[in-house]
Amino acid sequence: MSAKAHSLRLFLSEIARAPRRMGTVWPSSPALAEAMARWLPTSATAPVVELGPGTGIVTEKLLEAGWPEERLIAVEKSERMAGYLQHRFPRARIHQGDALQLARLLGDQKVAGVFSSLPLKVFTPQEAEQLTRQIESVLLPGHNWIQYSYQIVNGHAPSSSFHAVDSEIVWQNLPPAKVSVYRRGNQQSQGS
Which residue number, 75 or 103, has a Cβ lying nearer to ligand SAM?
Answer: 75
* In the complex, minimum distance from the CB of residue 187 to ligand SAM, in angstroms, rounded to a whole number: 26
Q: How far apart are CA 4 and CA 1, in angstroms?
A: 8
CA angle, 96 as apex, 90 and 102 as ends, to 5°? 110
Which residue number, 96 or 189, has a Cβ lying nearer to ligand SAM?
Answer: 96
Q: Return the amino acid letter for 153.
A: V
Q: How far apart are CA 145 and CA 174, in angstroms?
A: 22
Paired sense of beta strands 72-76 and 48-51, if any: parallel
How big is the site for ligand SAM, counted in residues (CB under 6 A)? Answer: 23
**Interacting residues with ligand SAM between 118 and 147 (CB under 6 A):** 118-119
**Region of residue 15 (left: phi > 0; alpha: psi -120 to 50; beta: else):** alpha
Out of 7, 24, 134, 180, which residue is the one contacting ligand SAM (CB under 6 A)?
24
- SS3 sequence of 86-119: HHHCCCCEEEECCHHHHHHHHCCCCEEEEEECCC
Which residue number, 142 or 176, has a Cβ lying nearer to ligand SAM?
Answer: 176
**Interacting residues with ligand SAM between 67 and 86 (CB under 6 A):** 75-78, 81
**Interacting residues with ligand SAM between 26 and 65 (CB under 6 A):** 27-28, 51-54, 57-58
| Residues at the site binding ligand SAM, with contacts judged by CB under 6 A | 21-24, 27-28, 51-54, 57-58, 75-78, 81, 98-100, 117-119
